[in-house]
Amino acid sequence: TGSGAGKMAAGGAADAQARFGHSVKGLLTEKVTSCGTDVIALTKQVLKGSRSAELLGQAARNMVMQEDAILHSEDSLRKMAIITTHLQYQTSCLVPSVEQSSNLQDQLSHLLK
């Protein structure tokens, strides 16, 4: 009967060792799955950050282009203001000439009658 008890003790120890090994495998599997999930989340975050930097760069380039367009528009407006001033001056010089021309036409038509 003593050898039967020894076999049972050895069998119980082997069974406990198998359960311990299975438990460790389960914990390792959980940890590997958890680490895999963390790596995927980290990769997504890095890609998102990379995309943000790309979008910021594009926004900066667009802003520079808009600034150039605004500066060009301001320059064009200044030139148009100068042209407008010149045209107003020329108009003010032409008005007396037109009035004199009208007077001359009246005088000519009166003389030709």
pLDDT at 49: 78
* Residues 44 and 16 both lie in one domain: yes
pTM of the model: 0.45
43 and 13 in one domain? Answer: yes
| Structure confidence at residue 98 (pLDDT) | 85
Tens digits of pLDDT across the chain (113 residues): 555 555 555 566 777 777 766 787 888 888 889 999 999 999 888 888 778 888 888 999 999 999 999 999 999 999 999 999 999 999 999 988 888 888 888 888 888 87
Does a structural domain hold residue 54? Answer: no
CA distance 61 to 111: 73
Domain range enclosing 16: 1-49
d(CA 105, CA 1): 151
> Which of the 8 DSSP states describes residue 5?
H
| The pLDDT of residue 50 | 78
In a domain, 60, yes or no: no
In a domain, 91, yes or no: yes
Q: Are residues 74 and 33 in the same domain?
A: no
The reply to whether 42 and 4 lie within a common domain is yes
Q: How many domains does the chain have?
A: 2
